């Protein structure tokens, strides 16, 4: 298999994650990486587990919180499902430290480049997109 052409999302960290996943032919290894990311996610304070931060359209319970500090976004989140938590962790790692403008400019097309879609159920793939959209929505509100 030829080296996949690099995806340019506007986030160096996200590009690196996408390349790592895209360069992995084995779907099981991709899942292991996503689960590893989930384990690294910091616990979400109970105060943020409310409807304001809940991702709509996800089968599992997913919360994501963006905060703006010195013009850069910082993220926290959690999910009750391991794979979904890993997908959330992937987005948090990839979008940490971006400006709201950079976060809003990320094209969801990068999701296809990860190769994860082949092994995600349609509801999980949709949930992944909903998490990204929620993060971009929060970034827009924080920028305003």
What is the Cα–Cα distance from 70 to 78, expressed in whole angstroms? 24
The one catalytic residue among 17, 34, 55, 58: 58
Q: Which residue has the tokens 């971006």?
A: 98
What is the Cα–Cα distance from 87 to 75, expressed in whole angstroms? 14
Alpha helices in 1-144 (DSSP H): 12-22, 27-40, 82-95, 100-104, 110-113, 122-143
Work out whether the CA dihedral 23, 29, 34, 40 comes out positive or negative: negative
Cα three-residue angle 57-102-52, rounded to 5 degrees: 35
Identify whether 104 is a catalytic site residue: no
Give the active site residues: 58
């Amino acid at each position: 298999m030829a080296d996949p052409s690099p995806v340019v999302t506007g986030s160096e960290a996200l590009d690196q994650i996408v390349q790592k996943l895209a360069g992995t032919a084995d779907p099981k290894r991709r899942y292991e990486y996503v689960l590893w990311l989930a384990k690294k996610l910091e616990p979400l304070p109970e105060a943020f587990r409310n409807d304001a931060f809940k991702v709509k359209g996800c089968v599992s319970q997913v919360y994501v919180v963006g905060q703006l500090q010195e013009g850069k976004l910082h993220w926290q989140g959690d999910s009750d499902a391991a794979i979904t938590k890993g997908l959330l962790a992937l987005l948090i790692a990839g979008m940490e430290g971006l400006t709201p403008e950079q976060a809003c400019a990320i094209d969801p097309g990068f999701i296809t480049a990860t190769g994860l879609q082949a092994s995600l159920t349609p509801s999980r793939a949709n949930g992944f997109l909903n998490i990204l959209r929620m993060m971009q929505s929060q970034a827009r509100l924080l920028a305003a």
